[in-house]
Structure 1
Amino acid sequence: MKLLAILALCSLAVVCLSSDATSAGSQPASDNPAQEGVFVERDQAAAVVRQTRAAAELSLAQLESLREVCEADLGCEHMMDTSGIIAAYNAYYGPIPY
């Protein structure tokens, strides 16, 4: 059983290495269309990725609930007083859940 597993892994490695060698020799990396979709420009990524919420979009009740959570931690409370509730909550608890 171990011999069968070793043979399967070796054959998989040979197939992977031979396919990489043939594809690398046939086209340069810059002309490879499969590589184009991996990286995108910053403008394209910004259009696709959901933007974070601004403070103006949160209601007073939502801001108050964030403030109550942040007041339980002294470091968060101090940062809330100096940098604002949104920055403090993000720094201590991560992104705002709503």
Structure 2
Amino acid sequence: MKTLSVLVLLSLAVVCLTSGPFVEKEEASEVVRQKRAAGQLSLAQLESLSEVCEANLACEDMMDTQGIIAAYTAHYGPIPY
């Protein structure tokens, strides 16, 4: 019985290691960023973007007319989270 248990565990380990479930950190970050839409940002994240944007007058004006996401992206690049 012990031998069977060891063989099952070893075969599971081999399957896990050879099936390639692990990805590079950069690739995983890109996938996560792609799945997250602007509407899925939390209130705290939006407030954080707003505070950064308020420090720049042009960004603040754009924020009032086109929204925080568009203003932050135009002046500071992609959203970091």
TM-score for both structures, normalised by structure 1: 0.47
Query: Moved runs in structure 1, 4+ residues, more than 4 A?
Result: none
Runs of 5+ consecutive residues of structure 2 not aligned to the other structure: 1-29
Q: Which of 64, 67, 72 pairs up with 1:81?
A: 64
SS of equivalent to 2:44: helix
Superposed CA deviations along residues 1-39 of structure 1, whole A, max 9, x for unmatched, are xxxxxxxxxxxxxxxxxxxxxxxxxxxxxxxxxxxxxxx
User: Partner of 2:27 in structure 1?
Assistant: none
Aligned residues: 50
Q: Residue 74 of structure 2 aligns with which residue?
A: 91
1:66 aligns to 2:18 (yes or no): no
- Gapped runs of 5+ residues in structure 1? 1-48
Percentage of identical aligned residues: 76
Pairing 1:1-98 to 2, within 5 Å after superposition: 50=31, 51=34, 53-98=36-81
TM-score by length of 2: 0.56
In structure 1, C-alpha distance between the alignment counterparts of 2:48 and 2:69, rounded to whole Å? 11
Shift of 1:62: 0.2
Query: Which structure ranks higher in relative contact order (CA pairs < 8 Å, sequence separation ≥ 6)?
Result: 2
Aligned equivalents of 1:63, 1:83: Cα separation in 2: 14
Residue 53 of structure 1: how far off its partner (Å): 3.6
Q: CA deviation at 1:52?
A: 6.8
SS across alignment from 2:79 = coil
Q: Secondary structure at the match of 1:96?
A: coil
